[in-house]
Amino acid sequence: MLFPNKLEAGDTIAIIAPSSPVTKDEADSCKRLVEDMGYNVKMGKCTYESIHGYLAGTGKSRADDINEMFADNEVKAIWCIRGGDTSSHTMDKLDFNLIKNNPKIFVGYSDATNLNINFNQKCGFITFHGPMVKSNMLNAYDKFTKLSFEKALNMQDELILENPAREDFKVMIEGSAEGTIIGGNLSIIVSMIGTPYEIDTKDKILFIEDVDESVKRLDRMMHQLKYSNKLNDAAGIIFGDFSDCINEKDEDYTVVEMLKDVLTDYKKPVMYNIKSGHCFPMSTIPLGANCNIDTKLKMIKFSI
């Protein structure tokens, strides 16, 4: 996997809205914020569009923004303004050959999982499951999140993943494994199974997180991964944050308990309590990088 060129002061960053909309005031504030970081900013047209309250423009217009920003030689990085819904509308309109030939820093998570997975698989470069401008930087850009993001963007040969406050990763199944890390939001991953844009987990480390889903819905999604062999194919699994994912009917049967039940017969290493996802603070994960997990050391290491 290719690691994109690193950012330097004065470089141009594109801010795009590949999923759901923000207000004009929020878009303007995001632009000023990134400019105040010392960068020039180009705003995607769809950062100022809203259709039906949940679309930041048509699928074509959002895909056009993405294609144009990758084709623009002045743009060194592309940051998503937020997640939301319907990045799937862009997938069949993206020029993956153009994107592959113009690799650059791409940052997003949540609904941007579709883009991360396919830029990794179809275009062969590392992307970043990291903070989005409106969602994480505008009002709640804490020190840990900022530092983790900067370390990932500037990693050299390797990067050790850390939790905030040095909180330990936890072990569900013992072992060690190595492979390319791929994944993101569980509900987005399963929504693309059976399409040309589905995730390939063969011999990879599968990373999963989610937000605002009931335990029973997560249970159904995990079984979809199981029955489609995505779990068996993976060399190992790491579970990120599951913010506000509760079981109203039985508070003692948590997400973790459900995951243990789904993986009862799984024989490969599994770690959890990785603080990356819809959480504050959050760690940045370089998706597409080589990943080594070791449950004995409770270590997750990325390398280029």
Q: What residues does 299 pair with on adjacent strands? A: 294
Token reading at 128: 């970043």
Active site positions, annotated: 110, 209, 278
Integer CA distances (angstroms), 48 to 42, 90, 136, 164, 173, in order: 12, 17, 19, 34, 46
Integer CA distances (angstroms), 182 to 52, 93, 106, 159, 283, in order: 32, 22, 14, 16, 15
Secondary structure of the chain: what % helix, strand, coil (to 5)? 35, 25, 40
Which residues of the chain form beta strands (DSSP E)?
A: 12-16, 40-43, 75-80, 105-107, 127-129, 158-160, 170-173, 176-185, 205-211, 236-243, 270-272, 285-287, 290-294, 299-303
Please state the φ and ψ torsions of residue 188, each to the nearest 5 degrees.
Answer: -75, -40
Question: What's the half-sphere exposure (Cβ side, CA atoms, 13 Å) at 296?
Answer: 3
